[in-house]
């Protein structure tokens, strides 16, 4: 055994011993403090408390904050993301996704391709689950969309962009889905008074991004439906906003990945760069 | 017919994954997951399944279950113990080499099963594959032979037999 190997073994053992001493001596402390701030206490006591005027009709505090208490922030955030994608597209405004100019289409080995075929269809179903349960469990529309984004990225990496072009992906289609998602978020944001009137409730003045009724603005989305003896909680606007956000983010990420994967010559031509 | 069959197979797979991942059998979730699975299957099933009738062949499933159990217990344990023994032996008994192993299957899933079975057992890694001449290039921690058929008998023959039963044809 060389002296270097001996040294490596001694250092490893010393590190392990140190770790053991720290873990046993200190006791492992909880990651989150049990000493809540007044703000945290407010959210935890109100968010799923039906008798509170300030409830969000959802047991998921984070989603409630994102889409209800601080809902406008998230709308603007989504708009900023949309603007960033528009800016990216403007740079390469005339770049077209065509099979002839999208590479050789050879891609990686058959092993990688076969595994990618399976993950390409299973990632979106996981993304759907994350988004559809955003009002119940950790997750939501943006998280689902971010998970979905891996699927087009894997397909482009394993098979090359040519397969995407041959399967009929186009900037226009992806942008349509992206815009429809954002439009749906905008409609839901101003929908609350109309929804309650459409369902036969008492019409009144509401706020932008209002989810549940407040004492001074008594309109709100229904938060659950009951059928066949079961009660299904969908938390008012939260489920629909998550769903719209899923489409907006998924198509947005797929669009950006597709554009930046294009060959340099196509991008240069599409951006109007003079030769 | 084959296209609708492919979509149906992928739909079942995705609905199963959705329900297991979500951890519920609530009818609303079955409907929501079903809609999502149907959309994805309609758009992309042709990428995944080309001969859906193979999925409904019980002999393939029996071979799959036998192989899965045997691979995850006996074969994995044997390979792990072998590599653990090599690592812990002071004399470091390794004789690494990249060997060329021929294979005789043509289905993509069968090839992938063989390659991933080789890679997932400690001691052997598939580093490249030549699908035209049907060779896998495998890094082997203790190359007992560098001759094609000999290496095949040692490394991949059992995997290939099962892969053939499960996917080929």
Helix, strand, coil percentages, rounded to 5, for chain A: 60, 5, 35
User: Cβ of B48 under 8 Å from any chain A Cβ?
Assistant: yes
B40 to chain A: closest CA residue = A121
Give the residue extent of every domain in chain B.
2-55, 57-167
Rounded-to-integer distance, Cα A206 and Cα A190, Å = 9
Distances A157 to A100, A160, A255, A258 between C-alpha atoms, Å? 18, 5, 15, 10
Query: A132 vs B32: CB contact, 8 Å cut-off?
Result: yes
In B, which residues are within 8 Å of A126 by CB distance?
Answer: 17-18, 21
Reported as a single tens digit per residue, the pLDDT across A80-132 is 999 999 998 888 888 888 888 888 888 999 999 999 999 999 999 999 999 99
The C-alpha angle A48, A131, A168, rounded to 5 degrees, equals: 165
User: For residue B109, what pLDDT is reported?
Assistant: 95
A111 to chain B: closest CA residue = B112
User: Cβ of B118 under 8 Å from any chain A Cβ?
Assistant: no
Tell which residue, B59, B57, B13, B3, has the closest CA to residue B36. Answer: B13
User: A189 to chain B nearest CA, in Å?
Assistant: 23
User: Cβ of B159 under 8 Å from any chain A Cβ?
Assistant: no
CB A104, CB A162: distance < 8 Å: yes
User: Is pLDDT at A55 greater than 70 in this prediction?
Assistant: yes
| Edge-to-edge strand list for the sheet holding B97-102 | B97-102, B135-140, B124-130
User: For residue A272, what pLDDT is reported?
Assistant: 66
- Point out the least confidently predicted range of B6-10, B49-53, B65-69, B107-111: B49-53
User: For residue B11, what pLDDT is reported?
Assistant: 96
This complex has an ipTM of: 0.92
User: For residue A42, what pLDDT is reported?
Assistant: 92
Rounded-to-integer distance, Cα A173 and Cα A35, Å = 50
**Pairs of CB atoms within 8 A across A/B:** 70
In A, which residues are within 8 Å of B51 by CB distance?
Answer: none
Percent of chain B with pLDDT over 90: 91
User: Cβ of B108 under 8 Å from any chain A Cβ?
Assistant: yes
Q: B interface mutation test: which of A121, A173, A229 has the most B CBs within 10 A?
A: A121
SS3 B136: strand
Give the residue extent of every domain in chain A.
61-270
pLDDT higher at A70 or A35: A70
Query: A121 vs B47: CB contact, 8 Å cut-off?
Result: yes
Rounded-to-integer distance, Cα B93 and Cα B91, Å = 6
A112 to chain B: closest CA residue = B112
In B, which residues are within 8 Å of A120 by CB distance?
Answer: 44, 47-48
Interface of A with B (CB under 8 A): 109-111, 113-115, 117-118, 120-122, 124-126, 128-129, 132-133, 230, 232
Query: A126 vs B33: CB contact, 8 Å cut-off?
Result: no
User: For residue A18, what pLDDT is reported?
Assistant: 87
Q: Which residues contact B31 (CB under 8 A, 6 or more apart)?
A: none
Is the four-CA dihedral B23, B24, B29, B35 of positive or negative sign?
A: positive
User: B111 to chain A nearest CA, in Å?
Assistant: 7
Rounded-to-integer distance, Cα A49 and Cα A55, Å = 6
Query: In this complex, which of A110, A113, A121 lies closest to B14 when CB atoms are compared?
Result: A121
- Per-residue DSSP letter, B139: E
In B, which residues are within 8 Å of A168 by CB distance?
Answer: none
In B, which residues are within 8 Å of A230 by CB distance?
Answer: 26-28
Rounded-to-integer distance, Cα A186 and Cα B109, Å = 45
User: For residue A269, what pLDDT is reported?
Assistant: 83
The C-alpha angle A223, A225, A231, rounded to 5 degrees, equals: 105
Altogether, the residues listed in chain A come to a count of 275
Query: A121 vs B48: CB contact, 8 Å cut-off?
Result: yes
User: Is pLDDT at A275 greater than 60 in this prediction?
Assistant: no
In B, which residues are within 8 Å of A114 by CB distance?
Answer: 108-109, 111-112
CB contacts under 8 A, B 123-152 vs A, are 126, 128-129, 131
What's this model's pTM, rounded to 2 decimal places?
0.87
User: Is pLDDT at A211 greater than 80 in this prediction?
Assistant: yes
Query: A110 vs B111: CB contact, 8 Å cut-off?
Result: yes
């Amino acid at each position: 055994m060389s002296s270097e190997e001996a040294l490596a073994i001694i250092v490893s053992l010393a590190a392990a011993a140190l770790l053991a001493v720290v873990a046993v001596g200190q006791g492992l402390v909880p990651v989150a403090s049990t000493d809540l701030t007044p703000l945290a206490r407010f959210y935890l006591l109100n968010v799923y408390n039906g008798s509170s005027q300030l409830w969000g009709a959802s047991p998921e505090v984070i989603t409630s904050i994102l889409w209800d208490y601080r809902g406008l922030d998230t709308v603007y955030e989504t708009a900023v993301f949309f603007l960033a994608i528009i800016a990216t597209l403007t740079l390469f405004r005339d770049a077209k996704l065509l099979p002839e100019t999208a590479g050789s289409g050879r891609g990686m080995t058959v092993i990688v391709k076969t595994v990618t075929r399976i993950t390409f269809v299973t990632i979106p179903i996981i993304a759907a689950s994350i988004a559809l349960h955003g009002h119940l469990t950790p997750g939501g529309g943006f998280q689902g969309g971010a998970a979905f984004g891996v699927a087009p990225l894997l397909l482009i990496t394993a098979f090359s962009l040519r397969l995407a072009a041959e399967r009929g992906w186009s900037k226009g289609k992806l942008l349509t889905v992206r815009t429809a998602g954002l439009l749906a978020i905008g409609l839901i944001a101003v929908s609350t008074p109309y929804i309650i009137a459409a369902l036969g409730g008492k019409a009144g003045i509401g706020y932008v991004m209002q989810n549940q009724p407040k004492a001074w603005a008594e309109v709100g989305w229904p938060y659950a439906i009951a059928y066949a003896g079961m009660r299904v909680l969908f938390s008012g606007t939260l489920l629909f906003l998550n769903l719209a956000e899923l489409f907006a983010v998924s198509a947005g990420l797929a669009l950006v990945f597709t554009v930046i994967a294009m060959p340099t010559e196509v991008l240069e031509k599409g951006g109007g760069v003079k030769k | 017919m084959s296209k609708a069959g492919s979509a149906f197979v992928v739909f079942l797979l995705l609905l199963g994954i959705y329900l297991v991942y979500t951890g519920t059998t609530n009818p609303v979730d079955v409907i929501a997951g079903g809609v999502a699975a149907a959309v994805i299957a309609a758009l992309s099933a042709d990428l995944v399944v080309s001969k859906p009738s193979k999925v409904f062949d019980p002999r393939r499933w029996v071979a799959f279950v036998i192989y899965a159990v045997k691979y995850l217990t006996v074969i994995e344990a044997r390979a792990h113990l072998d590599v653990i023994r090599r690592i812990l032996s002071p004399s470091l008994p390794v004789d690494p080499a990249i060997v060329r192993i021929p294979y005789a299957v043509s289905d993509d899933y069968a090839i992938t099963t063989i390659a991933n079975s080789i890679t997932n057992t400690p001691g052997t890694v598939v580093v490249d594959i030549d699908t035209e001449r049907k060779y896998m290039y495998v890094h082997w921690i203790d190359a007992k032979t560098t001759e094609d058929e000999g290496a095949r008998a040692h490394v991949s023959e059992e995997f290939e037999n099962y892969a053939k039963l499960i996917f080929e044809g």
